[in-house]
Structure 1
Amino acid sequence: MAIIRPFRALRPREDLADKVAALPYDVMNSEEAREAVKGNPYSFLHVDKAEIDLPVGTGLYDRAVYEKARENLYGFADKGVFIREDRNALYIYRLIMDGYAQTGLVACTSIDDYLNNVIKKHEFTRADKEEDRIRHVDTTNAHTGPIFQTYVSKESITGIIEAYKAENKPCYDFVSDDGITHTVWTIRDDETIGKLADEFSSVESLYIADGHHRAASAVRVGVMRRSAKPDYTGEEEFNYFLSVLFPSNELRIMDYNRVVKDLNGMSEEEFIARVSENFEVTKFEGEGQLRPMRKHTFGMFLGGSWYELEAKAGTYDESDPQKRLDVAIMQNNLLHPILGIEDPRTDKRIDFVGGIRGLDELERRVGLDMKVAFSMFPTTIMDLIDIADAGEVMPPKSTWFEPKLRSGLFVHTLD
C-alpha cells in the first residue's frame, strides 16, 4: 500500500528550466561543478554543491556550505528564477535518450513507507554521506534532489499518465547539453491526482533505484522534526519526501565495468590459467570489443586482446538472488580469490567505469594506468527488485542508470 501525495513545488520559470536543471550533486566533484556553472548563474549546482560559490579549499562539510545552499535556493525564489505553485500538484517527467523514453511520476512519498519497508532498499548507506545530506535538507528546509524509485509496472497507472500527456501541454520541454530531452507536465486537477493516488494505494512495494543516501537523509530529518513537534499530525510536509516513480518496464540499467591495476603478482599466462579454473576462457577473434550479450558471461581485456569468460557450473547459485548476479560471480570467483580484492568499496587497486563511457574507456584505462579490464552484462531491474524483496543488498557498483534525473526542476519545501 504505497502512499503518494501532491505538493506545492518550488520550481524554475519555464524560460529558465534548461539553465537551472543540473546533474545530481554526487556525479561530479567540486572542480567539475565549478567548471560546469561557468557562464550560468542559474545552475542548480549553486544549491546542491554550494561550495562552488565559496573560496577554493572550503571544506565540503563546512557549515558555510549549507548556509550558502539555503541563501542560493531562496535567492532564486526572491529573484523570480523560481516560482511557487499556488496549489498542490503532481508532475509527469519524461526523459528521452537515444530515442528511448522513460516516463515517471513526480510526487512525495511517505517516510513511514520507508520506515515500514513499503519503500525497499538494495544498498547500504555511509554515515558521512547521510550526515552531509541531513545537514543540507535541514538547513535549506527542502528536498532539492528527487529520489529515483521504481515499481512493478501497472497498466492502469501507465494509462492515466499517457492519457494526461496526450490531452495537455507540457510546462517544460528542453534538450540538455548531453542530448537528453526533458519534458514535464503539471497535474493540478484533483480527479487525476485522486485516480493516481488510488492506483498507487494498491502497489505493494516501491523500490529505490538510485538515491539511497538522499532517501535515508530525508527520513532522518523527518524523524527529527517529529521529535521536535510531539503533537505532529502526520500531514506536515516533513513526513514526505520528493520522489520520481518509474514503471519497471521502462527503466534501463547500463553495464558497470571493472578495471584493475595489476595481476596480483602473476604473469598474464599464470593469470589466464587461474581464471580458467572457474571460467571458460576463449580468445575473442572478432573485430572491435567484446560486449557480453547474456548473463554469466564477461569480456576481459588483457595484453591488447579481448577474451570471453563464461562462468562454469558451480560458480553461482541460480536460486539465490544475490549469488546469481554477475557482479557477485565476478567478485566471488575472480576479483577476490585470484586478484586479492577483498572489499571493492575500499581497495585502491580497482576502479569502476559506467557503461555510458563505452568500452573504449576500458581499453584507454588499461593503456594508461590499469592492467586488466572486465566488461559486464548489465544487471536487470528485476534483479534489483528480487534483491530488495529478499531483504538483501546489491554488491557495490552493480547498477548504472541512464539517463540521470535532473535536479532543480522540482523542490519540495518542508513547511
Structure 2
Amino acid sequence: MAKIVPFKAVRPARDKVSLVISRSYDEYSAAELASQLDYNPFSFLHVLNPAYVNVQKIATATRLKAVNLKYEEFKESQVLKKEEEPIFMLYEIKSKGNTYTGIIAGTSLEDYRNNVIKKHEDTLSYRVEYFKEYLDYTGFNTEPVLITYPEDKELQDWITAKKQNRPLYHFSSVNRNMHTLWRIKYDDEIEWIKKKFEGMDSIYIADGHHRSASANMLLEQNQDSDNENLNYFMSFLIAESDLKINEYNRIVHDLNGLSSEQFLEALSNDFIIENKKQELWKPNEKFSFGMYFNGEFYALQLKEKEFNSVYEALDARILYEKVLHPLLGITDLRNDERIEYIPGNQPITNIKKMVDESEFEVGFMLYPPTIDEIKNLADNNLIMPPKSTYIEPKFRSGLVVYEL
C-alpha cells in the first residue's frame, strides 16, 4: 500500500514561470551559467548559485546557507509563492514527440524503508551525504524523485479528463519543450487519488535514488523532530507507459594493448560480427550491440543467450562480462577514467565524432532495458550495473519546491 500526501507547494508567480525554471545546475557550462546569471534576474540559478564566483572555494555550510537566504529573498519578492493549502499537482511535459504526464506529491519515507517503494540502483555514500546536507541547510528540494507505478485505467481516465481543465501554467522552455501544470486542490480529488495509490502494492524509483536516500538519512538524523514534512520526499509519479527508458552507451579510450585484429578476433568468440560500414547502426533488440571502431559501424549479436537470472541477462552486464572486463581491462565501471558514458537520447553521431577525433578507440551502443527488467531486479533486491539507464522525463528546477 503506497502512501502519498499533498503538500504546500512553492512555485513561481504565473507571469514569471518561464523565466524562473532552469535545468539542473550541473548541466550548464560555465559560459551558459554566466549568461543566465547576468541577464535573467528571475532564474532559479540565482538561488542555486548565490553570487559566488569561486563556489568550490567556499565552505559547504556557508554556501548552502546562502542558497537558503537567496531562496527566502525570492519568496519575499513574490517571485516564488507558497500555496495556502496542501495540494497535488498534475504536470505534463511534451518533448520531441514524447508526452509525459504525472502527479507531483509527497511520498512516504516509511514506504521507502519498508520496500513498498522499490529501488534498482546503488548509491554513492558521498553523494547521499552531500545532498542530505543540502536539504538540511537550504530547507527545500526542487528536484522530485521520478517514480513509476503500474497501469491503472481509472486513474489514467481521470488524468485525461483533468487535462481538459484550464491549467495553472502553460508555457514553453528554451529547449522547445511544452510544460503544463494543473493544481489538484479539492478534498474529494485528493482523497480519491490517495486511495488509488493505497491500492498499489509497490511503486518503483525510476530516477532519483540518491535524492530519496538523502531524504531518508535526514529523517534518521531528526527522529525527534515534529516536522511532518521530513517524513516525505517530493516525487513525480508517472505510469509505466509514460516512462522513457534510454540506454547509456559506452566509449573507451584504448584497446588495453590489443591490436585491431586481436580485438576483433577476441570479440568473435562470443559474438557474431557484421560489418555495417558507414551505416549509422544501433541495436533494435536485446542481446544485440552496436560498435563503432576504426571508422566503421559493426553489429554484434551474442551467440550464447542462456542465463540464470535477469541480472546476468542485462545487456549492460553482458557487455561488461564479455568485453569491457576481459578484453579491455576495465574493472571499476564507476571510477575507471578509460571509460565514459553517453546518454542514449543523444545521436550516435556523437560517438562517431569522439572516436574519429582519436580521443577514444571504440564506442559501444546498447539496447535499452525494459521496465519489466527494472521491476524484476527491484522485486528481487538486485542492483543494475552503473550507468545502465538514462530515464526521461527530466524535471526543471524551480518549477515546484518542497519545503522541509
TM superposition score category, shorter chain reference: over 0.9
Question: Aligned ranges for residues 330-369 of structure 1 at < 5 Å?
Answer: 330-368=319-357, 369=359
Correspondences of 1:238-277 after superposition (within 5 Å): 238-277=230-269
1:329 aligns with 2:318: yes
SS in 1 for 2:377: helix
Give the whole-Å Cα distance in 1 for the aligned partners of 2:58 and 2:268: 45
Instruction: Please give the per-residue CA displacement for 1:230-278, whole angstroms capped at 9, x wherever unaligned.
Output: xx4xx81111111100100111112311000011111111100001111
Q: Name the CA distance, whole Å, in 1 between partners of 2:393 and 2:162.
A: 23
Give the deviation of 1:132 after TM superposition: 1.4
1:9 corresponds to: 9
C-alpha change, 1:190 and 1:211, in structure 2 (3 Å) is: same
* 1:293-308 correspondence runs (5 A): 293-308=284-299
Q: State how 1:79-98 maps to structure 2 within 5 Å.
A: 79-98=77-96
Secondary structure in 2 aligned to 1:113? Answer: helix
Distance 1:31 1:116 in 2: 44
1:174 maps to 2:137: no
Correspondence for 1:381: 371
Pick which of 256-265 and 133-142 moved more.
133-142
Q: What's the CA shift for 1:211?
A: 1.0
- Poorly superposed stretches of 4+, deviation over 4 Å: 28-32
Give the Cα–Cα distance (whole angstroms) in 1 for the partners of residues 119 and 30 of structure 2: 28
Quickly say closer, same or farther: Cα 1:292–1:144, change in 2 above 3 A: same
Deviations 1:2-61 (CA, angstroms, capped at 9, x unpaired): 0010011111011111111122245456665445444122222233x32x6213253476
Matches for 1:8-407 after TM superposition, within 5 Å: 8-28=8-28, 33-47=33-47, 49-50=48-49, 53-56=51-54, 58-59=56-57, 62-166=60-164, 168-227=165-224, 229=225, 232=226, 236-285=228-277, 288-314=279-305, 317=307, 319-368=308-357, 369-407=359-397
Secondary structure of the structure 2 residue equivalent to 1:259: strand
- CA drift of 1:210 comes to 0.9
SS of 1:258 mapped into structure 2: strand
Q: Distance between the aligned counterparts of 2:36 and 2:377, measured in 1?
A: 36
Q: Within 2, Cα distance between the matches of 1:104 and 1:126? A: 28
Q: Can you give the 5+ residue segments of structure 1 that lack an aligned partner in the other structure?
A: none
TM-score (norm 1): 0.93
| Secondary structure, aligned partner of 2:154 | helix
Q: CA deviation at 1:406?
A: 1.0
Residues 180, 403 of structure 1: 8 Å contact kept = no
Task: Give unpaired runs (5+ residues) of structure 2.
Answer: none
Check whether the contact 1:121–1:212 (CA below 8 A) recurs between aligned residues.
yes
- Matched residue type, 2:257: G
Instruction: Tell me: CA distance 1:30–1:219, structure 2 relative to 1, closer, same or farther (3 Å).
Output: farther
Q: Is the Cα–Cα contact under 8 Å of residues 149 and 240 in structure 2 kept in the other structure?
A: yes
Determine if contact 1:143/1:218 at 8 Å carries over to the other structure.
Answer: no
Structure 2: distance between partners of 1:296 and 1:264: 24
Q: Distance in 2 between matches of 1:388 and 1:106?
A: 22
The amino acid of 2:16's aligned partner reads: L
Q: Secondary structure at the match of 1:148?
A: strand
Structure-2 separation of matches of 1:389 and 1:28: 36
Shift of 1:321: 1.7
TM-score of the superposition, structure 2-length normalised? 0.95
| Cα pair 1:255 1:354 within 8 Å, conserved | yes
Partners of 2:243 and 2:393 within 8 A in 1 = no
1:163 and 1:61 map into 2 onto residues whose CA distance is 49
In structure 1, how many angstroms separate the alpha carbons of the residues matched to 2:51 and 2:313?
Answer: 46
SS state at 2:102 partner: strand
2:341 counterpart letter in structure 1: F
For these two proteins, the number of residue pairs brought into alignment is: 403
Change (3 A) 1:124 1:25: farther
